[in-house]
Amino acid sequence: MNNDLDFLLAEIDLLKGELDLLNDRFDEQLLQTLAVEYSYQSNRIGGSTLTPVETEMAIKIGLTIPGKAMWEYLSAINHNQAIQFIREQVDEHALLSETLIKQIHAILLRSIDREQAGIYRTRALTPPPGHHAPPPASELPELVAEMLHWLRLEGPFVHPVIFAAEAHQRLLFLHPFIAANGTCARLLMNFILLQEGYPVLNLRGDAESCRAYFHALELAHNGTDKTPWFRLIAEHMMSEIKGLLGRVEPELSQE
């Protein structure tokens, strides 16, 4: 890591300290609103065309609109349930494990692809031009075990935001599932962040943000330089905390 990134992480920790003092302001309604926003953005990265309102209607009342694919509505519902699941796992002090990763993925593909839900892929994947090729399917159990061993070994010695970013990148590098790898990796990252007392990190799904996201990921995947990836995640965390402070602090001034 470089000095700029270290400084950014120090700023994040200062802001997190402010946010920790306002934890009682995050009631269930606000957490549900944030979960809908997160589901919308994360699924948008994955190709969903649902609007924020459509995402909310799918999650809250199961409403579907003609012209939209059923998988998009199911993805919204499943993602929201996956957020609740990782929150419950954090409350129960669950450990980072292969079982946890598979459980997250199984929720994401529930009612969409039951045969592949929570199951490692059994065939090779052909990446788009310029993207890294995931490892052979036969090596996945061993590689996931190695990834988890590294994370457990190194995790306590790195900043939580960097640790979460590493978990995200390393799982996505393996691409262990036939679909929903990115969504699963983002949820795994947020499981770690929640464990460490940080808020959910909501990566944006607009075109410009996606380009920056995938570019930084490819640099990390290819072993060129992980610093841009760490910086991108750290910058998003900074933005997330500032946004949450902006939501809560105005309420204090009105009391």
Identify the CA nearest to 188 among candidates 41, 59, 90, 48. 90
201-225: string of b/e by CB count within 10 Å (b at 16+)? bbbbbeeebeebbeebbbbbbeeee
Q: Which residues are catalytic?
A: 175
Let me know the angle formed at the C-alpha of 109 by 148 and 134, rounded to the nearest 5 degrees: 45
Residue 133's Cβ-count burial label (10 Å; 0-12, 13-18, 19+) is exposed
CA separation for the pair 46, 136 (Å, rounded) = 23
Q: Identify the H or E element spanning 23.
A: none
